[in-house]
Amino acid sequence: MTKARISAETVAAGLTFLIGCAAIYGSFRLGIGTLTSPEPGFFPLLAALLLAALSAILLGFNFAGASAEAVVPEPEAAEETQTWAALTAIAALVAYIFLLAWLGYLMATTLLLAALLGVFGVRQVLPYFIAAPLIAGGSYLLFGRLLDLPLPTGPFGF
């Protein structure tokens, strides 16, 4: 890996860390609440803490001389394949926006997750039938049932 690339990774990780810290500050300004009675800043705080922690870990690896590729090896795919995968993921997200109102949250999210599994290189069939519906169903239970947020319903009522 070249020195310029490590420098770019370090800058990106540093900026991401600063964004995470700003989001943590903003979360506290919204109000955190408690686990049993969360206020508007509670869930953004959790996301911001995760963002700041992961970027701090990446910064630590970069300052120690290791690159992200040394920690998580990149597949030996050509740059063209990576571009195709990114475009496919973007197309899946755009399709998700339109399918959400027509199919409903649960079905559209399951299809999106299945498409993203394919983009990320999952070649076994079992994760498509287990992981995608479980993740979509879990998020549906969390947001639609536990947090009582209105989610788009499809032709089957969910």
Contact, 115 vs 99, CB < 8 A? no
Output the pLDDT for position 109: 93
Q: How far is 31 from 47, CA to CA, in rounded Å?
A: 15
The average confidence (pLDDT) of the chain is 80
Average pLDDT over residues 62-78: 56
pLDDT in tens, 103-140: 999 999 999 998 888 887 777 877 778 888 998 999 89
Of 53, 45, 47, nearest to 17 by C-alpha is: 53
At 74, the pLDDT band (50, 70, 90 cuts) reads low
φ, ψ for residue 33 (rounded to 5)? 80, -150
Report whether pLDDT(100) > 80.
yes
pTM for the whole structure:
0.51
Output the pLDDT for position 1: 46
Torsion of CA 131, 133, 140, 27, to 10 degrees: 30
Q: How far is 50 from 47, CA to CA, in rounded Å?
A: 5
DSSP H/E element including 52: helix 42-63
Q: Other CB atoms closer than 10 Å to residue 101's CB: what's the count?
A: 12
Output the pLDDT for position 95: 92
Q: How far is 93 from 85, CA to CA, in rounded Å?
A: 12
- The domain spans of the chain are 3-71, 79-146
Report whether pLDDT(6) > 70.
no
Residue appearing with tokens 């109000």: 31
Range of weakest confidence among 14-23, 42-51, 64-73, 133-142? 64-73
Structure tokens at 139: 């998020």
Task: Please give the share of the chain, as a percent, with pLDDT higher than 90.
Answer: 11
